Amino acid sequence: MCVCFLKVAWGKDLEPRWHQVVELPPIVVDVTEHQAHGRRCPDCQHLTWGTIPSEVRRHRIGSRLGAVVSYLSGSPHVSKRGIEELLEGVFGVPISLGAVSKLEKEMSEALNTLHAEVLEAVRQAKSKNVDETG
C-alpha cells in the first residue's frame, strides 16, 4: 500500500467528489376495470345484469392522465397527434385523436367559470403590474 494514501487516510477528510445521475422510475399505468356480471334465475331463466355506475362510465381517462393531456395541450402546445404519440410511447396508453380533443373540450369547459372570475378580478384591480415594453 502506498504510504501517501495512509497519510491522507489518517489526516483530515477531503471534500468528496460528486456525480449524480437523474432517472425516471418505471412508469406503470394504473388501469381500473369495472365489471358488471350477469346472472340467470334458475327457475324462470330471466337474465339480470349488474350495472356500472354512470359516473364511472362517463370517463375513460382518469383525472391525473387528463391533467397531463391538458397540460401538454395548453402550456407547451403539443399537437393532438404529438400527445397521442407521447401517451403511447412513454406511458403505453393508446388514445385516439378524438379522445384528446374531447379531453381538451372538457378541461376548457371546467375552467370557464374560474377563467371568468380571474378575468373580472384583473379588470377590477386598481393596479395591474403589467410591463408594457415590447
Per-residue pLDDT of the chain (134 residues; tens, 9 = 90+): 565 655 555 667 888 999 999 998 988 899 999 999 999 999 999 999 999 999 999 888 998 999 999 999 988 889 999 999 999 999 999 999 999 999 999 999 999 999 999 999 999 999 888 877 76
DSSP letters, 90-129, are II-----HHHHHHHHHHHHHHHHHHHHHHHHHHHH-S---
Q: Give the per-residue pLDDT at 2.
A: 60
Q: What is the DSSP letter of 47?
A: E
Q: Give the per-residue pLDDT at 59.
A: 86
**Three cell numbers, residue 128:** 395591474
pTM of the model: 0.66
Q: Give the per-residue pLDDT at 13.
A: 81
**Three cell numbers, residue 120:** 373580472
Going from N- to C-terminal start, the domains of the chain cover 60-122
